[in-house]
Amino acid sequence: MMSILLIGLGGMAFWVVPSPLMTALEPRTNRTYLFSAQFAANLVAGFFGSLAGGWLPSFFARIGGFDPKSLQAIQWTVMVAAVLYLITALPLWKLTEVRPAEPTDGKLWHIPRPARRIILILLVPNIFIGLGAGLIIPFLNIFVEGKFGVSFAALGAVFAWSQLGMAIAVMLQPIIAERFGKTASIVIVQTLSLPFIAMLGFSGSFAAVAIALFVRSALMNAANPIYAEFTMGQVKEAWRPSLSAAEAMVWTAGWTVGPLLSGWIRSRLGFDVGFNVLFVAMLILYGTGIAYTWFVLRPIEMA
């Protein structure tokens, strides 16, 4: 339990720090590409990490002469992951500290009221998108396996390849942002994902669902680095860590409340009807977040 707590704390720090750090270190002209490259690198690493996570227990089991599902095999696999985490810390020692040009206290409760207002405005899309995602995404494997009876190996392959699709879409997103603007590019890819969410939830073909899963993941996640870069550019440097932390908390709250609501709805309506209701709710929440981005955040960008 203590290990899980520490992993959660470290993961939250890893989530909060990169956006304000990259905004401070990189000129405005290159930020969109840097944010996208960082997000894509995480996705590609996650793809290979998923493959390695499935292969390493068997590898250690052959070496040690124990069962691949044994505690020893899992322990050695986790140790490899811990070593990789330590290695990633080495390049950070080479970074030069960049202090804010304006030594303003960045704590949220010390930020002037007008700035707090813009931070709250920037958080709203994450409320809708995070809650909508929390209703369905944690249970996608259960939904697909329960609806089509596919093997976990086939399902794992679909999820793994969808990460590569996300990486490709993320790297293409800056081109769209340069052509149409940041908020418009976010609205474009997120709106295009809505039909594939509907296909994912209501199609009776596993092939169609696999394609929908791949495309939906690519389109929705392509917007994430552009949104992060856009929001960081709307506040002063000293306030960016507070904004990044607030974004992480709002998203985490959606992924905390969403699964609870999802389980409650499915326990009362059953598998089929429950997931039908949840997919409709997801579409409504996503659509609301997209509309908010267009009608509220786009005028801020264009001002």
Q: Give the CATH number, domain containing residue 270.
A: 1.20.1250.20
Report yes or no on 106 lying in a domain.
no
Q: Which pLDDT score, from 0 to 100, does residue 4 have?
A: 59
Q: Which pLDDT score, from 0 to 100, does residue 145 have?
A: 85
Report yes or no on 108 lying in a domain.
no
Report yes or no on 105 lying in a domain.
no
Report yes or no on 127 lying in a domain.
yes
- Cβ neighbors of 19 (< 8 A, separation 6 or more) are 35, 228, 229, 231, 232, 240, 244, 247
Q: Which pLDDT score, from 0 to 100, does residue 12 have?
A: 62
Report yes or no on 84 lying in a domain.
yes
- Cβ neighbors of 290 (< 8 A, separation 6 or more) are 125, 187, 190, 191, 194
Q: CB atoms < 10 A from the CB of 183, how many?
A: 23
Q: For residue 154, what are the domain limits? A: 2-97+113-302
State the DSSP code for 150.
Answer: -
How far apart CA 193 and CA 198 sit, in angstroms, is: 9
Q: Which pLDDT score, from 0 to 100, does residue 11 have?
A: 65
Number of domains making up the chain? 1
Q: Which pLDDT score, from 0 to 100, does residue 174 have?
A: 87
Q: Which pLDDT score, from 0 to 100, does residue 267 have?
A: 95
How far apart CA 299 and CA 295 sit, in angstroms, is: 7
SS3 283: helix
Report yes or no on 102 lying in a domain.
no
- Cβ neighbors of 101 (< 8 A, separation 6 or more) are 237
Q: Which pLDDT score, from 0 to 100, does residue 239 have?
A: 84
Q: Which pLDDT score, from 0 to 100, does residue 260 have?
A: 95
Report yes or no on 187 lying in a domain.
yes
How far apart CA 293 and CA 184 sit, in angstroms, is: 8
Q: What is the pTM of this model?
A: 0.80
Q: Which pLDDT score, from 0 to 100, does residue 288 have?
A: 98
Residue 70 tokens read as: 């044994």
Tally the C-alpha atoms within 13 A of residue 22's C-alpha that lie toward its C-beta: 26
Q: Which residues of the chain have pLDDT under 70?
A: 1-17, 25-29, 54, 95-110, 152-153
